[in-house]
Amino acid sequence: MSALSPRLAEIVDALPLEPGLRVLEIGGAPGAAARAVCERIAPGGHILVIDRSTKGVAQIERTAAAEIAAGQLSTRCVAAEDFTLLAREDPFDLAFAIRVGAFDGRHPVEGIAARARIREALRPGGRLYIDGGAPLRVILLE
C-alpha cells in the first residue's frame, strides 16, 4: 500500500479504531484512508465506503481490490443524505467523513438529511468524525 499523506495519516491515527469494528466512511474516494483503516480494524473488522460518484466508487474498487477480495472492505454508490442500511445489515460502530460538503457546512440542507441517515446507521453511542478539528471533530447527531 502506498503511504498516506501526513494529513490523512493524522486523521486515521485520530480515529478510535480497534480490531473488529464496523466503520462507515463517507465520501471515501480514492480509498487511501479506507485501506489504512482496514489495517487497524483487522481481524474481524469491516469498512463500508460510500461515495456519491460512480467514478469515485470505481477508483476505490481499483485501489482497494485486495481488501475487497479479503472481505474487509466494501463500497456503495450513494450520497450520504440517501444512505440506509440494507436489510439485515449490522449498524456501524463509527463513521467518518473527510471534505464532505454535507458535514462541513458547504451544503447545509443536505447536511440535515445526511446527519439523520448516518445517525440511523450507527449503533447507539456511535459517533461521526469529520475533518476540521485537531485533526478531527465529532458531529452531534442527536
Domain boundaries, the chain: 6-139
Q: What is the pLDDT of residues 24-76, one digit of tens each?
A: 999 999 999 999 999 999 999 999 999 999 999 999 999 999 999 999 999 99
Q: What is the pLDDT of residues 110-142, one digit of tens each?
A: 999 999 999 999 999 999 999 988 899 998 786
- Give the pLDDT band of residue 104 (cuts 50, 70, 90): confident
State the sign of the Cα–Cα–Cα–Cα dihedral 38, 41, 46, 51.
negative
User: In this structure, how many other beta carbons lie within 10 angstroms of the beta carbon of residue 71?
Assistant: 8
Fold classification of 6-139 is: Rossmann fold (3.40.50)
Which three three-digit cell numbers place residue 94?
Answer: 463509527
**Partner residues linked to 45 by β-bridges:** none
- What does the alpha-carbon distance between residue 113 and residue 27 come to, in Å, rounded to a whole number? 15
pTM: 0.95
What is the C-alpha R_g of the chain?
Answer: 14
- What does the alpha-carbon distance between residue 127 and residue 107 come to, in Å, rounded to a whole number? 20
